[in-house]
Amino acid sequence: MNNNLNKIVQFIDLALIDYQLGWDTQEKLFSEIIDIKIQNRNLAAENQQTTPNYLLFCQHPHVYTLGKSGKINNLLLNENGLEEKRAKFYKINRGGDITYHGPGQLVGYPILDLENFFTDIHRYMRFLEEAVIRTLEEYDIKAGRIDGLTGVWLDHVEPNIARKICAMGVKSSRWVTMHGFALNVNTDLDYFQNIVPCGIDDKAVTSMATELHQLLDIQEVAYKLKHHLGKLFEMDFFAHSLEKAKGA
């Protein structure tokens, strides 16, 4: 194994991007890291290549995605209903159940070789949650976790009124991650009425805009969230162009 840990993270802002194109971009970068790790197994330590890390931020047009452990019945729309809502639907290879992505929602895809940081998926998920919790705190929104449930919640100590503000679902192979989190900033929450969010039928969904009664600057939120991720993971960021990431 390469003992030269690389905490440099190439940050890519994909802006508003079709879900399939965003997924393809993730898969390309994910496969790149996996291929390097496989090649390194047959090389002496001094000849091994350092694995890169990426953090993608984006928004998506209206789309519902179903994780590999999810139930299709948690999508409450048929094909005609999806067309009426101008929404797409994908079965994808992350963990978790069904969720919604759309404009006004900040989606983050960390594509990291955790061997550059720490090899603990539980800790990884908690760090993602903690970065969101710290970001919300900057807007005077108190958030936390609920035992047994992933993501970030408001009124998390009151089960009857708890509301999810950030959903999470990841994939990991050979300690390389993909997929990630979706923070509702200015999200149209009506779209969540068409699913059983994350397969949980007794909890509401909320957004920063709903809680603060005003729209927010999503780029400002993204800047703060990136900062907190960097602090927690001890990342060293630099910008990376979309064209290079896509292999253009």
State the pLDDT at residue 239. 72
pLDDT digits (tens, 9 = 90+) for 218-244: 999 999 999 999 999 999 998 765 544
Cα separation, 6 vs 79, in Å, equals: 45
d(CA 140, CA 204): 20
Q: How far apart are CA 188 and CA 16, in angstroms?
A: 15
Task: Inform me whether the pLDDT recorded for 184 exceeds 60.
Answer: yes
Q: How confident is the model at residue 196 (pLDDT cuts 50, 70, 90)?
A: confident
**Which string of b and e fits 122-156 if b means at least 16 CB within 10 Å?**
eebbebbbbbbbbbbeeeebebebbeeebbbbbbb
The amino acid that residue 37 corresponds to is K
pLDDT at 246: 43
Residue 93 belongs to a domain: yes
198 counts as catalytic = yes
Residue 64 lies in a domain: yes
Whether 219 is covered by a domain: the verdict is: yes
Task: Quote the pLDDT of residue 242.
Answer: 53
Report d(CA 28, CA 8) in Å as an integer: 19
Number of CB atoms found within 10 A of residue 51's CB: 23
Quick: pLDDT tens for 113-167.
999 999 999 999 999 999 999 999 999 999 999 998 889 999 988 878 999 999 9
CATH code, domain with 67 = 3.30.930.10
Set 55, 168, 182, 198: catalytic member: 198
Q: How far apart are CA 144 and CA 8, in angstroms?
A: 28
pLDDT for res 19: 96
Structural domain harbouring 131: 8-245
- pTM here is 0.92
Average pLDDT over residues 190-196: 90
Average pLDDT over residues 56-83: 93
Kindly report which listed range (7-11, 69-73, 173-177) carries the lowest average pLDDT score: 69-73
Q: How far is CA 123 from CA 118, 119, 120, 126, in A?
A: 8, 8, 5, 5
| Domains of the chain: total | 1
Nearest CA to 189 out of 92, 100, 80 is that of 100
Asked, for residue 27, whether it belongs to a domain, the answer is yes
Q: Does 2 score more than 50 pLDDT?
A: no
Residue 1 maps to a domain = no
Report the C-alpha gap between 235 and 114 in whole angstroms.
12
Helix axis angle, 218-233 to 121-137, nearest 10°: 140
Residue 149 lies in a domain: yes
The CA dihedral of 66, 24, 231, 220, to the nearest 10 degrees, is -80
CB 56 within 8 A of CB 22: yes
Residue 74 lies in a domain: yes
